[in-house]
Structure 1
Amino acid sequence: MSKISAFDDKKEYRKKIISWCMYDWANSAFATTVMAAVLPVYYSKVAGAGLQGNTATVYWGYTTAIALLITAFIAPIMGAIADFSKIKKRMLMIFASLGILFTSLLYLVNTGDWFIASLFFIFGNVGFATSEVFYNSLLPEVAKPEDIDRVSTRGYALGYLGGGILLAINVAMLKFIDDKKFASRLCFITVGIWWTVFTIPLITNIKETSRKNTIGSKFNSFYVGFRRVGKTFRELKNYRELLLFLAAFWIYNDGIGTIIKMATIYGAEIGIGTNDLIGALLLTQFVGIPFAILFGRLAGVIGAKRSIYLGLFVYTLISIGAYFMTKGIHFWILAFSVALVQGGTQALSRSLFASMVPSKKAAEFFGFYGMSSKFAGIFGPLIFAVVGQITGTSRLSIVSLVAFFIIGAFVLSRVDVNKGIENAHNI
């Protein structure tokens, strides 16, 4: 091979990598602006304006749980299609388009339209989460085996950055546009545009390798998907430490996810201003990056398991502190506290799981890890909503999340990591 052709191949490879990573940059706008920041506040103050007490927060909890439930059922079916057919990019485009369409339609949501807002969010979230199934499945076709970890991390970092940049733009819009309701609706349009524009490189520059469809009908896709989940679960029974860790992770990660999903609507309910709510989330987006790195270094000193304990202790304090929160500055302090531990706790959980996974079963077990997390993630928002509905206050809902962290930490304490690593290496 000549130097010129080798250079061209390297250039083409880099182009594919960047194009793949840009989808993380594209769809992270939904995760930040729609899922975590602007929509929960808009839902509470505008769409749910006619609802009494904490009803808007309760309905948002149910909405989030329903969206996660639908996604959890779809994920294994889509995973089977992704693994056995050459339509990954096409399916990504279809579900991304679904997410973009219903995100943009949120512009039409007006005062009192809480049901329409819930419906549009559910469809938007299905598009967002399902497109990620196909996005992740494209990685082995884009990156060389030795580059997969690095490329995956780069995509995650770009997603963090891209979502943060658009959120910063949205914060400026909310600050400088006098009509706050119109500014919020305009934010949803910017997410649709951002998501569309930055998906184009993936569509244009990435081609799938030929693969024969081996699953046949849609019914077979459903059957194969859930059969694979059952098979993996049966396999996991042979790895006690790994299964125990998964149980711990499902519990405490559900608490973490619920804080992320419910924080802004809870803050809006108790009277925290929009600028404080969204500004604090923007702080979390950028402060979280260096602290995730520092948390990784801490794990090198005290170990991953103890570092996760520390993260769960901080989350416990956050839940208790949120119960007493009354001012904007309190929300900023709690958001900064989340930024200290969010990225590190989740990254170390993933690496701890990876250390106990047999290398020959990595893809199978990580697929189960991702899918089962979606199922487990339903219960936090659901319990948040039920407690709020029964008690009439979301303050008790937020403090109820302490149970997820305490129980999760207890189950984690039963995991013998060294034994789990030894079992993985003996396979």
Structure 2
Amino acid sequence: MPTPARSEAASWSWAFYDWANSAFATVVIAGFFPVFFAQFWAADLTPAESTQWLGYAGSTASLLLVLSAPVLGALADQIGAKKRFLLGFTLLGVLATAALFWLQAGQWQAALALYLAGLLGFFGGNIFNDALITDIAVPEDYERISSRAYALGYLGGGLLFALNVAMVLWPGAFGFADKSQAVQAAFLGVALWWALFSLPLVLFVPESRGAGRHALGSAVRRAFGELWRTFLEVRRLPNTFLFLLAYWFYIDGVDTIVFMAVKYGLDLGFPDSSLMVALLITQFVGFPAALVFGRLGARWGPKPGILLAIGVYAGVVLAATQMSRVEHFYALAVTIGLVQGGIQALSRALFAGLIPAGRTAELFGFYNMVGKFAAVLGPFLVGTTAALTGEPRLSLLPLLGLFLAGALLLWRVDVRAGRADAVMLGDDRQR
């Protein structure tokens, strides 16, 4: 029997969480924090030292998430608390981001600690938000609703980022004394935006009971037991396991391009302002493109749509080796915007259809764990290639291997059989 959560009001409210937290991804992670950290809070450090500490913060957040995500997901399933975990991580991210507003120049340790907390809030919240898709949609709507959420994320993050860029370029017009004050106000604005637009999820997204409610102590013990059983069960779902392996390869390539694009442009000598414009282009192109990919996924199925996006990314890597003008960078920003939201949305939708009901938070914990593990290999390959060749244009070439491996593994995934196996396993657990 369908749950009351499977309504348009619930699905739109769920999708608006992407609108809410994408402000952190765009404004803080990709936009202002790395530059402001180096130029304001850590101005006394060398560029190499500030980059090193930023890298440590990102790696620490990924490692903590990798270690905790499956257990937290299992615990949330045991006590029926996906929303509560999501809101807890959201609160952590909101408070950490808001606190950046009050830090003074030179307080780089405090800034780094708050950034780490913000990353944990952002990535941790995504685990439980992803898991709620099975509570607010039926399988036939996963592609459409997941794509809608990513589209709203691109639009919301892009709108706020555009406002913040204007604030930094013309601080006096917005009543700020200087650019530094404008950037700090942008961090506070992200926190308020994130909190405000999370309210629809709080108010209108019910949560199914899942595996049932248990006392906390008992639930923790059961969660660790379920973690081991999840490893065994994923191996009983060969197509789900194969998809996760494919996802590990191709999302590594996607995330590496996202995180290295601005640095790549700087290495080629493009001005900061042009790189900010390129980031805005990606955001606003990504909004309609994610919606289009949702329709393609609903018509063709998510697997062909993902394979198409992987092919486009491979083309982007090859084109980047020939880049010489900032106009080329803009063109690649448009191309990435066309597929970035689509590949993320369809991957989430495909995985949701390949897992049994009742353990979605736990399994999406694994899904996000795979994604965070993937954030290690790609940057290492890019950095090593750049160091060995001394040529930035060649540094992205190893990503072709990641995209090729991901495409070949995904090609072997039998989606229909995988969904049938997931349903059968879910029925077996209910008996």
TM range (shorter): 0.7 to 0.9
Question: 1:256-279: CA deviations, max 9, x gaps?
Answer: 012112322443455433322222
1:127 equivalent among 121, 124, 129: 121
1:97 equivalent among 68, 91, 94: 91
Provide the rounded CA distance (Å) in 2 between the counterparts of 1:372 and 1:417: 20
Question: 1:59-102: CA deviations, max 9, x gaps?
Answer: 54443232222122222232233222265544444322221122
- Superposition CA RMSD, Å: 4.2
The structural deviation recorded for 1:191 is 0.4
Say if 1:29 and 1:194, in contact at 8 Å, map to a contact too: yes
Question: 1:100-139: CA deviations, max 9, x gaps?
Answer: 1221233356666655443322110101222333445556
Counterpart residue number, 2:187: 188
Pairing 1:64-213 to 2, within 5 Å after superposition: 64-85=58-79, 88-107=82-101, 115-136=109-130, 143=136, 149=142, 154-177=148-171, 179-203=178-202, 213=213
Provide the rounded CA distance (Å) in 1 between the counterparts of 2:225 and 2:383: 32
Residue range with higher mean Cα deviation, 307-316 or 76-85: 307-316
What secondary structure does 2:57 align onto?
A: helix
Say if 1:27 and 1:159, in contact at 8 Å, map to a contact too: yes
TM norm structure 1: 0.77
Question: 1:26-76: CA deviations, max 9, x gaps?
Answer: 222112111222223434555565665766555544432322221222222
Provide the rounded CA distance (Å) in 1 between the counterparts of 2:199 and 2:299: 43
Structure 2 letter corresponding to 1:29: A
Counterpart residue number, 1:278: 276
Relative to structure 1, the CA distance from residue 299 to residue 197 in structure 2 (aligned partners, 3 Å threshold; closer, same or farther) is closer
Provide the rounded CA distance (Å) in 2 between the counterparts of 1:107 and 1:418: 47
The structural deviation recorded for 1:247 is 1.0
Structure 2 letter corresponding to 1:186: A
Say if 2:96 and 2:115, in contact at 8 Å, map to a contact too: yes
Provide the rounded CA distance (Å) in 2 between the counterparts of 1:130 and 1:47: 26
Counterpart residue number, 1:263: 261
2:238 paired with 1:240: yes
Relative to structure 1, the CA distance from residue 190 to residue 402 in structure 2 (aligned partners, 3 Å threshold; closer, same or farther) is same
What secondary structure does 1:214 align onto?
A: coil
Say if 2:145 and 2:294, in contact at 8 Å, map to a contact too: no
The structural deviation recorded for 1:404 is 1.9
1:63 equivalent among 49, 57, 61: 57
Q: Which runs of 5+ in 1 are unaligned?
A: 1-9
Structure 2 letter corresponding to 1:189: L
Say if 2:69 and 2:366, in contact at 8 Å, map to a contact too: no
Question: 1:213-243: CA deviations, max 9, x gaps?
Answer: 415329x52x544543432332232343432
Say if 2:16 and 2:197, in contact at 8 Å, map to a contact too: yes
Provide the rounded CA distance (Å) in 1 between the counterparts of 2:213 and 2:289: 44
Pairing 1:341-356 to 2, within 5 Å after superposition: 341-353=339-351
Say if 1:288 and 1:342, in contact at 8 Å, map to a contact too: yes
Provide the rounded CA distance (Å) in 2 between the counterparts of 1:422 and 1:134: 21
Relative to structure 1, the CA distance from residue 353 to residue 205 in structure 2 (aligned partners, 3 Å threshold; closer, same or farther) is closer
TM norm structure 2: 0.77
Counterpart residue number, 1:335: 333
The structural deviation recorded for 1:400 is 3.6
What secondary structure does 1:377 align onto?
A: helix
Say if 2:152 and 2:287, in contact at 8 Å, map to a contact too: no
The structural deviation recorded for 1:386 is 6.2
Question: 1:132-180: CA deviations, max 9, x gaps?
Answer: 3344555666x47589746655444433322222112112212322633
Counterpart residue number, 2:175: none
Say if 1:325 and 1:331, in contact at 8 Å, map to a contact too: yes
Say if 1:76 and 1:226, in contact at 8 Å, map to a contact too: no
Structure 2 letter corresponding to 1:65: S
What secondary structure does 2:216 align onto?
A: coil
Structure 1 letter corresponding to 2:92: L
Relative to structure 1, the CA distance from residue 196 to residue 319 in structure 2 (aligned partners, 3 Å threshold; closer, same or farther) is same
Counterpart residue number, 2:427: none
The structural deviation recorded for 1:422 is 8.6
Counterpart residue number, 1:3: none
Identity rate, percent: 38
The structural deviation recorded for 1:314 is 2.8
What secondary structure does 1:217 align onto?
A: helix
